[in-house]
A = this chain, B = another copy of it.
Amino acid sequence: MFNYYPAPVARLIDELMKLPGVGPKSAQRLAFHLLNAPDRDALGLSQSIIDARQKIKQCSICANLTDQEPCAFCQDQNRDDKVLCIVEQPRDVIAMEKTREFRGRYHVLHGAISPIEGIGPEQLTVTQLLSRLRESPVAEVVVATNLNVEGEATALYLSRLLKPLGVKVTRIAHGLPVGGDLEYADEVTLAKAFEGRKEI
């Protein structure tokens, strides 16, 4: 930044600009907000960053982020041990939970295979997944990675890796989103939706 700002403000703006989607203007706006906010809010944010970093770890079973060991999903006695849903990120667990459709266990990869970004299976929690499946076999693995190039590559990799273990590997469906208009759907999505048609 220019040296128009006093040093502590300039530093705060610089730190805020490291956040995703925050440019110079937003960072300036956030910085002045934090300077004018009540103590409770500004220092509350500062403290909650430290707390979250200190208390949140990866669950040793599913690699989801948690403040318990094992995490609440792995502890829950009412979930089905026979179905395992594999997702890329902890936020995807929340997205699945909000559907209220799935009552099995989770496994979080913490990313997807992406040769361009130099991310291979060894950067993900694949080894942990394999030893988990060996210790407690499941009937079905649902691969719920994103439906983009990296997610699809990861799904293909996992299906080839897991099928030899005798486990059924499924993939969440491609298709038009609910409320989707055929007219505005891209061709690839529409082709996938057609391909995945079901009898009604």
Known A21-B29, A29-B20: A11·B51 in contact at CB below 8 Å? yes
Question: When the two chains form their complex, are residues A65 and B6 in contact, meaning their CB atoms are under 8 A apart?
Answer: yes
Residue among B6, B28, B35, B49 making CB contact with A45, cutoff 8 Å: B49
Question: When the two chains form their complex, are residues A52 and B21 in contact, meaning their CB atoms are under 8 A apart?
Answer: no
Task: Provide the residues of chain B in CB contact with A7, threshold 8 Å.
Answer: 67
Cβ of A31 within 8 Å of any chain B Cβ, yes or no, is yes
Cβ of A116 within 8 Å of any chain B Cβ, yes or no, is no
Question: When the two chains form their complex, are residues B49 and A43 in contact, meaning their CB atoms are under 8 A apart?
Answer: yes
Question: When the two chains form their complex, are residues B32 and A90 in contact, meaning their CB atoms are under 8 A apart?
Answer: yes
Cβ of A46 within 8 Å of any chain B Cβ, yes or no, is yes
> In chain A between 34 and 77, which residues have their CB closer than 8 angstroms to a CB of chain B?
34-35, 37, 39, 41-56, 65-68, 71-72
Known A4-B98, A52-B34: A65·B9 in contact at CB below 8 Å? yes
Question: When the two chains form their complex, are residues A8 and B94 in contact, meaning their CB atoms are under 8 A apart?
Answer: no
> Chain A: interface residue count, which band?
35 or more
Cα–Cα, bound, A26→B14 (Å): 19
Cβ of A97 within 8 Å of any chain B Cβ, yes or no, is yes
Question: When the two chains form their complex, are residues B41 and A30 in contact, meaning their CB atoms are under 8 A apart?
Answer: no
> In chain A between 93 and 129, which residues have their CB closer than 8 angstroms to a CB of chain B?
93-94, 97-98
Cβ of A184 within 8 Å of any chain B Cβ, yes or no, is no
Task: Provide the residues of chain B in CB contact with A91, threshold 8 Å.
Answer: 28-29, 32
Map CB proximity to B onto A161-200 as digits: 1 under 8 Å, 0 otherwise.
Answer: 0000000000000000000000000000000000000000
Task: Provide the residues of chain B in CB contact with A11, threshold 8 Å.
Answer: 48, 51-52
Residue among B5, B8, B56 making CB contact with A35, cutoff 8 Å: B56
Task: Provide the residues of chain B in CB contact with A79, threshold 8 Å.
Answer: none
Cα–Cα, bound, A29→B49 (Å): 14
Closest to A20 in B: B33
Question: When the two chains form their complex, are residues B51 and A42 in contact, meaning their CB atoms are under 8 A apart?
Answer: no
Cβ of A12 within 8 Å of any chain B Cβ, yes or no, is yes
Question: When the two chains form their complex, are residues A42 and B46 in contact, meaning their CB atoms are under 8 A apart?
Answer: no
